[in-house]
């Protein structure tokens, strides 16, 4: 499914009455096994499976790093050259994380698509899956995610991060499977307002 921004994926401990996506999916398909989680402000591809055995096979693919996830983001400032951020991430507060020695290893590959002084369109792939990994790594290199008030940028309505594509092996047929989600309108408008070209 293509998750809109602003929706919580799972129930939060201190917000028991807050609507959340997993419950909504289970109202239509039960059971629904959640393969991965996206932050509230992030839009894009999410996977639910109807069967426990299928979920187990997909989980193994995740653990063995056989599932590829591609994200698209808008960051602050002109980031013109590709780079790999290999920096450990650890919890720094109740809801925050940061680059810290002794944290879990985290690797993010960053490829600029179009850079302007007002912001850059990026494609990102992850070798690891740390909480807030993209957000923390972009902030650490001085190009925080546009709209990410938690990590240093407030001038957009939400964190401009979109889970664009997941590639995996189909758990039943073993055929290659690739699922993509188009960029939402607010993301495209934010990019164009900064003079960033989007396809």
Residue 163 maps to which CATH number?
A: 3.30.2350.10
Q: Facing residues of 125 across strands?
A: 70, 109
Q: Is residue 39 part of a domain?
A: yes
Q: Could you tell me the pTM of the whole model?
A: 0.86
Q: Which of 11-15, 60-64, 174-178 has the highest mean pLDDT?
A: 174-178
- Yes or no: say if 160 and 151 are a contact pair by the CB < 8 Å rule: no
Average pLDDT over residues 11-21: 47
Structural domain of 21: 2-193
Cβ-proximal residues to 118 (8 Å cutoff; 6+ apart), any chain: 194, 195, 196
Q: Percent of the chain at pLDDT above 70?
A: 87
What is the number of structural domains in the chain? 1
Q: Report CA-CA distances (Å) from 68 to 98, 120, 129.
A: 24, 23, 11
Is residue 72 pLDDT above 80, yes or no?
yes
Q: Is residue 199 part of a domain?
A: no
How sure is the predictor about 9, in pLDDT bands with cuts at 50, 70 and 90? Answer: low
Distance in angstroms (rounded) separating the CA atoms of residues 133 and 142: 14
Catalytic residues: 39
């Amino acid at each position: 499914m293509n998750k809109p921004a602003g929706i919580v994926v799972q129930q939060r401990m201190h917000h028991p009455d807050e609507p959340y996506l997993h419950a909504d999916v289970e109202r239509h398909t039960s059971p629904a096994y959640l393969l991965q989680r996206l932050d509230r402000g992030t839009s894009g591809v999410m996977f639910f499976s109807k069967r426990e055995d299928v979920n187990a096979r997909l989980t193994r693919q995740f653990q063995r790093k056989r599932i590829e996830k591609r994200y698209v983001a808008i960051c602050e400032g002109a980031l013109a050259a590709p780079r790999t951020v290999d920096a450990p991430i650890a919890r720094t507060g109740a809801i925050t994380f940061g680059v810290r020695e002794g944290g879990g290893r985290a690797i993010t590959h960053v490829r600029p698509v179009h850079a302007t002084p007002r912001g850059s369109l990026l494609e990102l792939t992850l070798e690891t899956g740390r909480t807030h990994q993209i957000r923390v790594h972009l902030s650490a290199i001085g190009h925080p995610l546009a709209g990410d008030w938690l990590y240093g940028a407030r001038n957009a309505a939400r964190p401009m991060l979109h889970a664009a594509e997941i590639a995996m092996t189909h758990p039943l047929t073993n055929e290659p499977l690739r699922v993509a989600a188009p960029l939402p309108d607010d993301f495209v408008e934010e990019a164009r307002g900064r003079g960033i070209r989007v396809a």
